[in-house]
Chains A and B, each alone.
Chain A
Amino acid sequence: MSAAALAKLLGPLVTVTLVESEDIGIVGVGEATLPHIRGFVERLGIDEAEFMQATHATFKLGIDFRDFGRIGESYVHPFGTFGEEAAGVPFHHYWLELERRGMAEAIGNYSLAVTAALAGKFRPPTIDGTLTSTYGYAYQFDATLFGPFLRENATGKLGVERIEGKVVEVRQDPESGDIAALVLESGRAIEGDLFVDCSGFRSLLLGDTLGEAWEDWSPWLPCDRAAALPCAHATQDFAPLTSAIAMPAGWRWRIPLQHRMGNGYVFSSQFVSEDEACAAISKAVDGEPMADPRVLRFRAGRRSKSWNRNVIAVGLSSGFLEPLESTSLYLSQMAITYLIELFPIDGLIDPRDRDEFNRLVDMEYDRVRDFLILHFHATTRDDSEFWNHVRTMQVPATLAEKMALWRETGRVEKYSDGLFYDASWIAVYIGQGVWPERHDPRAQLPQPAQVMRAMEGLRDAIAREVAAMPGHRAFLTANAHRLAAAT
């Protein structure tokens, strides 16, 4: 992603060299994304249908969370809104008022994204300001195919030079301490002015070489392992959704790709062993396993600075947050975007640009962190040590303030930068049973029956739109046919 974007955007000014080794595997096990990825793929000049076919991608309208707030309960965090504001009061306050009166249906009934996702339907949104423009979509794809697809694009179309080889030595400038060159097994030294560290958890340049400090977030996000297990599809059709299903010591993902179902148990080794986790995921999958469970290790946190000296870490080498909200590629994409915005002028790194980059990256990580912690902390589960721990732990002050505002008033702390706005917070709060003590008093002003009629009208309009949508699989098949016809 980094090489392709740098070459595409700064092509005339920079020479981009991609150093990688076929011997080092890709961590990705199936990747669920956020809608932001579409802008990235599009701006690289990549055709969506071609990209989807190459990576066996499916569409995604949100994430289906099960058993997080309470066993047996579920909700969808959609890429879309719930209802519409009326008289300056957000929709969910009216919904809370009806709920108080025992008249409300599930809030997801007032979201086109939720209704379509649960019905297994998909159609791209419009941009005309009508009901059908109230949602977005993302992709679920095979991460082991995404990298090579981008690599081909970068080397074939954007002029990136790819060098195969393992880095065995990192040379630093003796005076400045900057990275001067990477030395490969072959003995070849690759010099550069700027090094983008995409080496994954190892953080070869930023962590290993420059020793950038690690900020540990595991007290709040104790999951430190994942047992991944792909399986065959158990059914012909699958919904345009990623599933996150709570487990006794963490949660498991379920990501439908065109050719298989990605599965994995993200767990805390404090509370369950690797063997137990592998057994649990093997038992949980609903299709024929396509391999043995593979265990990945990680820890939640981020580097104190993602840009130090002439090294910029992107992705796992910069920080790690478990994939509960599919934020991994988003965080990489944001770091790349900021790097391009703040790319050194005339080859000289200005500390002010470095500080600005680090400020922005920190803001992104911190906001995602708080949102993820909410999913664990906002629970009534007391059926395992893991859930007792996350339910009773002290959360960061920034999250405690957000939750206090919601609990007291049903309001969501407002910000416009970073990730996850009102609809996302509302989905999780309500979905996990975090009920506010009060809501906006103006929601009582209209007659409840009048509000009910308006909500029924919206629900019915959504139902009609969804009924007219094709099934997810049918849409994917039609897409593939369109591509085949075009080529």
Chain B
Amino acid sequence: MSKARELLRRIVVLGDGPLGVLTAVALRRALPSTETIVIALPPDPAAFAERFGTALPFTNRLHDRLRISEGDLVRRAGASHRLVMRYFGGGEGGQQGAAGYGAAIDPAMKTAFAREWGGGPRSAETVAPPRSLGEVLAAAGRFAAPSGEANSPLADLDYALRWNVPSYRALLIGVAQQLGIHHERRRVHGIVPNGERGVAALTVEGADEIDADFFVDCSGSGAMLLSKLPGAEWIDLNRELPSRILAIGAPSEGVLALEDRLTLTTAGWRWEVGGRDGRLAVLALARQTADGDIAIALGSEPVGFVSFWPGRARSPWIGNVVALGDAAARIEPLGGIAQDLAHRQLGLLLELLPGRTIDPAERAEFNRRCALMIDRACDWLAAHYAAPAAAALFPGLERSPFLTRTLDQFGRRGRLPFAEEAPMLVQEFGAMLHALGLPQGEGPLAAAGAAAGETAARAFEARAAQALQATPRYGEWMQRVLAG
């Protein structure tokens, strides 16, 4: 018979950036009787998992679960909605394309085969070029949050949020205060080992110690706790990802937009995030570039540079310390992937939350799944450098066996293999490859099912027309939400 398991008595979260505070809120919600302490740290400029105010759709579900309402994010944290990421220059001759989110990308056309033949939600051939409901709405400047009704025209629509980082952090701090989370501002001097490859306490100024059963390292790229533990080891991702420096542009005036942009320049990928409280451009430098050329590629004079070295912790959970965000994986933030990854790691921690006794198998399962998450996020980024024009500009990059197989299958057959713990649905990944200008092949299934593809395309057009009719202009919708 299963025995009672003692609840964690005290948790310390190292790092009070948005990820640290969100983590503390999540843990406190999950364990209301457990004391939760967040320890302040100076901001880390290379904390890509929290520095840029946007992620992917998973974060919306995490916010819902933590009772952080989208309405509050819109009203108090400057949140706005991204339906698509528009890509420029990945393919030949000024090619551009948009990639949306959710199963609303051709559900009938892209995944119906395996599902309907009893195979579940896995790989399938694409029988027509991807279309996205998000793209249709973004092009028309229309939006409404899906109602949740199964048969509504927006039922399968999904989106990502952007937000104002300081306001978002302030909102989270407000929630944390309501939950009774303690904010410790004294400086951390060191750790006291617990003799079991973990941490017994942190020493803070004033010669005090803060002991806890469980420590969460949200300290950013330095991994201040994890890196001090015996057995901490980093795996380089530098053979797959070329960027070592981010150039950051000056924030400009805010905009209400339903799409963000990724543009391939001769220096690397430029990411433009259009928030209501300000727009931001970031350039992931993928080669040595003269200052003047950086400004041209970025679209403005850079106001800062951040160096980083892509890699991941072999075991993000060692002893009683688990690392999240940049403390576990240092990857480019393009498209919100770094923050998405951090939030999915947090979701995994909530799923496998331990008691005071931490079981090795639980830790191993977290590390197994976390490694898959990071590797697939790395593949997601590496796919950007596999776009035809990017591959010509930045040759010689390695690709994981999974990405190699994916690109091969997509290019020859229009098919995408399923991946466990991937950051995106198969449909979303396919739409992104298409938007990146990667040629999409067609297998016999598509050729044989051409008529079915046409039928599905007509059905999609009808649904898109319904969706357009059912949604107001984004500005009108936003006004209504802001008015409460």
Within 8 A of B (CB), among A249-277: none
In contact, B362 and A408 (Cβ under 8 angstroms) = yes
Give me the 4 closest cross-chain CB pairs, A-B, nearest first: A36-B118, A39-B118, A441-B355, A408-B359
Distance in angstroms between the alpha carbons of A401 and B363 in the assembled complex: 12
**Could you tell me the distance in whole angstroms from the C-beta of B58 to the nearest C-beta in chain A?**
14
Distance in angstroms between the alpha carbons of A40 and B117 in the assembled complex: 5
In contact, B354 and A441 (Cβ under 8 angstroms) = yes
Assuming A341-B445, A345-B412, A405-B361, is B116 touching A441 (CB within 8 A)?
no
Chain-B contact segment, one of A197-205, A302-310, A375-383, A413-421: A413-421
B257 contacts partner chain A, Cβ-Cβ < 8 Å: no
In contact, B65 and A438 (Cβ under 8 angstroms) = no
Contacts of A352 in B (CB 8 A): 405, 408-409, 412
Assuming A99-B2, A408-B360, A438-B2, is B444 touching A343 (CB within 8 A)?
yes
In contact, A13 and B121 (Cβ under 8 angstroms) = no
Chain-A contact segment, one of B308-316, B413-421, B429-437: B413-421
| Extra pairs beyond A9-B448, A345-B444, A404-B361 (7, CB < 8 Å) | A10-B445, A14-B444, A38-B118, A341-B124, A352-B405, A408-B361, A438-B359
Residue in chain B with minimal CB distance to A10: B448
**Could you tell me the distance in whole angstroms from the C-beta of A353 to the nearest C-beta in chain B?**
8
Contacts of B444 in A (CB 8 A): 10, 13-14, 343-345
In contact, A411 and B362 (Cβ under 8 angstroms) = yes
Partner of A416, one of B1, B31, B350, B418: B418
Residue in chain B with minimal CB distance to A334: B119
A174 contacts partner chain B, Cβ-Cβ < 8 Å: no
A100 contacts partner chain B, Cβ-Cβ < 8 Å: yes
Partner of A333, one of B113, B118, B365, B418: B118
Distance in angstroms between the alpha carbons of A39 and B120 in the assembled complex: 10
**Could you tell me the distance in whole angstroms from the C-beta of B418 to the nearest C-beta in chain A?**
5
13 contacts between A and B (CB under 8 A): A10-B444, A10-B448, A11-B448, A13-B447, A39-B118, A344-B444, A345-B441, A345-B443, A401-B361, A417-B122, A437-B3, A445-B31, A445-B32
Residue in chain B with minimal CB distance to A421: B120
Partner of B365, one of A38, A341, A343, A411: A411
Distance in angstroms between the alpha carbons of A342 and B117 in the assembled complex: 15
In contact, B2 and A96 (Cβ under 8 angstroms) = yes
**Could you tell me the distance in whole angstroms from the C-beta of A352 to the nearest C-beta in chain B?**
6
Contacts of B5 in A (CB 8 A): 438-441, 444
Contacts of A100 in B (CB 8 A): 1-4
Distance in angstroms between the alpha carbons of A415 and B368 in the assembled complex: 11
Assuming A408-B360, A415-B420, is B119 touching A441 (CB within 8 A)?
no
**Could you tell me the distance in whole angstroms from the C-beta of B402 to the nearest C-beta in chain A?**
11
B353 contacts partner chain A, Cβ-Cβ < 8 Å: yes
**Could you tell me the distance in whole angstroms from the C-beta of A245 to the nearest C-beta in chain B?**
26
Contacts of A14 in B (CB 8 A): 444
**Could you tell me the distance in whole angstroms from the C-beta of A415 to the nearest C-beta in chain B?**
6
A436 contacts partner chain B, Cβ-Cβ < 8 Å: yes
Assuming A43-B117, A350-B412, A435-B1, is B448 touching A13 (CB within 8 A)?
yes
In contact, B360 and A436 (Cβ under 8 angstroms) = no
Distance in angstroms between the alpha carbons of A438 and B120 in the assembled complex: 32
Residue in chain B with minimal CB distance to A413: B365
Assuming A99-B1, A416-B420, is B352 touching A341 (CB within 8 A)?
no
B152 contacts partner chain A, Cβ-Cβ < 8 Å: no
Count chain A residues whose beta carbon lies closer than 8 angstroms to a beta carbon of B. Answer: 59
Query: Using an 8 Å CB-CB cutoff, how does the interface string of B224-266 with A read, 1 for contact, 0 for none?
Result: 0000000000000000000000000000000000000000000
In contact, B116 and A43 (Cβ under 8 angstroms) = yes
Contacts of A356 in B (CB 8 A): 405, 409, 417
Distance in angstroms between the alpha carbons of A440 and B7 in the assembled complex: 9
Which residues of A are in contact with B by a Cβ distance under 8 Å? Answer: 5, 9-14, 35-40, 42-43, 87-88, 96-97, 99-100, 129, 330, 333-334, 337, 340-345, 350, 352-353, 356, 401, 404-405, 407-411, 413-417, 435-442, 444-445
**Could you tell me the distance in whole angstroms from the C-beta of A7 to the nearest C-beta in chain B?**
10
Contacts of A414 in B (CB 8 A): 365, 369
Which residues of B are in contact with A by a Cβ distance under 8 Å? Answer: 1-8, 30-33, 65, 113-125, 150, 350-355, 357, 359-362, 364-365, 369, 405, 408-409, 412-413, 415, 417-418, 420, 441, 443-445, 447-449
In contact, A441 and B420 (Cβ under 8 angstroms) = no
Distance in angstroms between the alpha carbons of A444 and B444 in the assembled complex: 55
Assuming A356-B409, A356-B417, A435-B2, is B445 touching A9 (CB within 8 A)?
yes
Of B6, B120, B412, B415, chain A has the most CB atoms within 10 Å of the CB of B120
Contacts of B415 in A (CB 8 A): 341-342
Partner of B113, one of A330, A334, A341: A341
Distance in angstroms between the alpha carbons of A327 and B412 in the assembled complex: 32
Contacts of B408 in A (CB 8 A): 352
Contacts of A334 in B (CB 8 A): 119
Contacts of A444 in B (CB 8 A): 4-5, 7
Assuming A88-B351, A405-B365, is B448 touching A337 (CB within 8 A)?
no
Assuming A37-B118, A337-B119, A411-B365, is B2 touching A439 (CB within 8 A)?
yes
In contact, B447 and A437 (Cβ under 8 angstroms) = no
Assuming A38-B118, A408-B359, A409-B359, is B4 touching A87 (CB within 8 A)?
no
Assuming A10-B448, A100-B1, A415-B420, is B350 touching A88 (CB within 8 A)?
yes
**Could you tell me the distance in whole angstroms from the C-beta of A334 to the nearest C-beta in chain B?**
7
**Could you tell me the distance in whole angstroms from the C-beta of B99 to the nearest C-beta in chain A?**
22
In contact, A343 and B445 (Cβ under 8 angstroms) = yes
Contacts of A408 in B (CB 8 A): 359-362
Distance in angstroms between the alpha carbons of A404 and B30 in the assembled complex: 25
Contacts of B361 in A (CB 8 A): 401, 404-405, 407-409, 411
**Could you tell me the distance in whole angstroms from the C-beta of A33 to the nearest C-beta in chain B?**
10
Distance in angstroms between the alpha carbons of A409 and B5 in the assembled complex: 10
Partner of B6, one of A342, A350, A404, A441: A441
Partner of A442, one of B31, B114, B119: B31
**Could you tell me the distance in whole angstroms from the C-beta of A80 to the nearest C-beta in chain B?**
16
Distance in angstroms between the alpha carbons of A439 and B1 in the assembled complex: 10
In contact, B125 and A39 (Cβ under 8 angstroms) = no
Residue in chain B with minimal CB distance to A419: B120
